[in-house]
């Protein structure tokens, strides 16, 4: 369940967030015990998860969101380094490659670029 063997290294819940999880978890555990029924069981489950999060200092959902945010930042950085417009050197290179590729081509019939068909 934990990513590293060191408990401190894998903690991602700190300070007030951790204290709020403990307080909220205890609150929901108390409400769940007092209520009973299906609603009480749900409150017990939420309270237990929040309490475990606060005590351990680890939250898998937060870790996954942090990973997604990091990947989004990396993707944004990569997209900024990609050129959106071609340079003049790229245009020359592309034109030269196109001429070399079509220079030896044999055209039979109508060359539509110089003599387009009528009525089409």
Q: What are phi and psi of 87, to 5 degrees?
A: -85, 170
Torsion of the alpha carbons at 51, 55, 61 and 67, rounded to the nearest 10: 170
pTM, rounded to two decimals: 0.53
Cα gap 98→118, rounded to integer Å? 27
What tokens were used for 25? 């978890």
Which tens digits make up the pLDDT trace of 85-103?
778 888 888 888 888 888 7
pLDDT (tens place) for every residue of the chain, 120 residues total: 444 444 555 888 999 999 999 999 999 999 999 998 999 999 999 999 999 999 999 999 999 999 999 888 888 766 666 666 778 888 888 888 888 888 777 666 665 566 666 665
Q: What is the CA radius of gyration of the chain?
A: 32
């Amino acid at each position: 369940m934990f990513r590293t063997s060191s408990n401190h290294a894998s903690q991602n819940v700190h300070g007030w967030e951790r204290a709020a999880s403990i307080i909220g978890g205890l609150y929901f555990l108390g409400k769940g015990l007092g209520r009973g029924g299906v609603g009480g069981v749900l409150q017990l489950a939420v309270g237990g998860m929040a309490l475990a999060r606060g005590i351990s200092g680890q939250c898998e959902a937060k870790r996954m969101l942090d990973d997604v945010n990091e990947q989004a930042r990396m993707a944004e950085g990569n997209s900024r380094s990609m050129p959106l417009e071609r340079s003049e050197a790229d245009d020359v290179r592309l034109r030269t490659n196109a001429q070399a590729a079509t220079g030896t081509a044999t055209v039979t019939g109508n060359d539509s670029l110089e003599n387009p068909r009528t009525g089409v």
